[in-house]
Amino acid sequence: MKWTKFRLRTKVEAEDIIAGALLDIGIEGVEIEDQVPLSSLEKEQLFVDILPEVQVDVGEAYLSFYVEEGVDVDLTLKRVKKALAEVSKCMDIGAGTIEISQTEDIDWMNNWKQYFHSFYIDDILIIPSWEEVQAKDKDRMIIHIDPGTAFGTGMHETTQLCIRQLKKYVAQGQRVLDVGCGSGILGMLALKYGADFCVGTDLDPCAMDATHENMRENGINKNQYQVWVGNIINEKTVQNQVSAFTYDMAFSNILADVLVQLAPEVVKYLNVGGVYITGGILKEKEEMVKEVLVDCGFAILEITEQGEWVSITGQKK
């Protein structure tokens, strides 16, 4: 489907007021671009692999929205200009210019691929399905990843922290549990390093398709890796599926506030001595997660850092 994109140039201090004015005339789903530094909470909520480039904040902002093919573009433009004129009576909206362009769904689905290329995490090569392994990398540990819309290319600092911890503690023949498996990257690496079997869970249905596709790319069959969609914290069906086994290792690369809720559940499925690797923790939330893990019966083995992020590894007493 083709869409018409409207892009409004304004000032940061006017962006929320203009977004509200657009909502009043029936325009929802406004995209805001500015260079205002992210807060700690926003960084945690962003939690994406391919981070946006940050430029100097000069006080400018752009608001974009899309209308479907067949919508009267001239009428929409007239209504938007009227809304901007009303806002400009009470505040400075800056340039107030409007750009109009055409786009298609296929652009949104594929354009992100230009930003994801093969890269290394220590001795591991992470490579997307649309690139070829070079001769110089043939002897490396290789993971083929095409995340689709699921989280987990391995580029995010939190994923790299978890990968390094996984390499330290995984052992031959283990059963592992990945809560929030995303693209399946952690579970597949555990299997590559000798684990015998993995169960992954995720709230996002896209994670199941992404993980199954990546399993095929990496020669991992469904007898080695089961994936379930749902919330292990409160969905009985998922809990029953996971509890069919006990595990020697678990990992959750999610967010600190979710880890706090997960810890009492994950500990039930781990064998005594089982290792739990957590990621997605901003430094200021380290103590909060650490205290909950200890209260749930984990001895803290290690706390590692990369950038603003922390991974805490515990062992079930």
* Angle at alpha carbon of residue 184, lines to 179 and 185, rounded to 5°: 110
How much is the average pLDDT of 102-107?
Answer: 69
Query: In the chain, what percentage of residues exceed pLDDT 90?
Result: 74
**pLDDT value at 216 more than 50:** yes
As a whole number of angstroms, the distance between CA 151 and CA 45 comes to: 13
Asked whether the beta carbons of 276 and 180 are under 8 A apart, the reply is no
Q: What is the DSSP letter of 224?
A: T
pLDDT tens string 27-51: 988 998 877 665 555 555 545 454 4
pLDDT value of residue 50: 45
List, in order, residues 6 or more apart from 259 with CB less than 8 Å away: 252, 278, 280, 281, 289, 292
**pLDDT value at 89 more than 70:** yes
Residue 24, both tokens: 């009043």
**pLDDT value at 55 more than 60:** no
Please identify which residue in the block is written with the tokens 């260079």: 35
pTM above 0.85, yes or no: no
What is the crossing angle of helices 256-269 and 286-295, to 10°?
A: 20
pLDDT value of residue 9: 95
CA–CA distances in Å: residue 126 to residues 61, 84, 201, 227: 35, 47, 22, 21
Lowest mean pLDDT among 49-53, 164-168, 218-222, 311-315: 49-53
Higher pLDDT, 271 or 207: 271
Asked whether the beta carbons of 9 and 92 are under 8 A apart, the reply is no
pLDDT tens string 268-287: 999 999 999 999 999 999 99
Name the pairing type of β-strands 98-104 and 2-11: antiparallel
Coil, strand or helix: which one is 180?
coil
Residue 317's CB is within 10 A of a number of other CB atoms, namely: 11
pLDDT value of residue 153: 76
> Phi/psi class of residue 154: alpha, beta or left (left: φ > 0; alpha: ψ in -120 to 50)?
left
In this structure, the chain runs to a length of 317
pLDDT value of residue 28: 84
How much is the average pLDDT of 63-71?
Answer: 90
| Banded model confidence at residue 129, pLDDT cuts 50, 70, 90 | confident
Higher pLDDT, 112 or 289: 289
Instruction: Give me the amino acid identity at 162.
Output: C
Maximal CA-CA distance, the chain: 70
* Angle at alpha carbon of residue 59, lines to 56 and 62, rounded to 5°: 100
HEC string of 114-177?
A: HHCCCEEECCEEEECCCCCCCHHHCCCEEEECCCCCCCCCCCCHHHHHHHHHHHHHCCCCCEEE
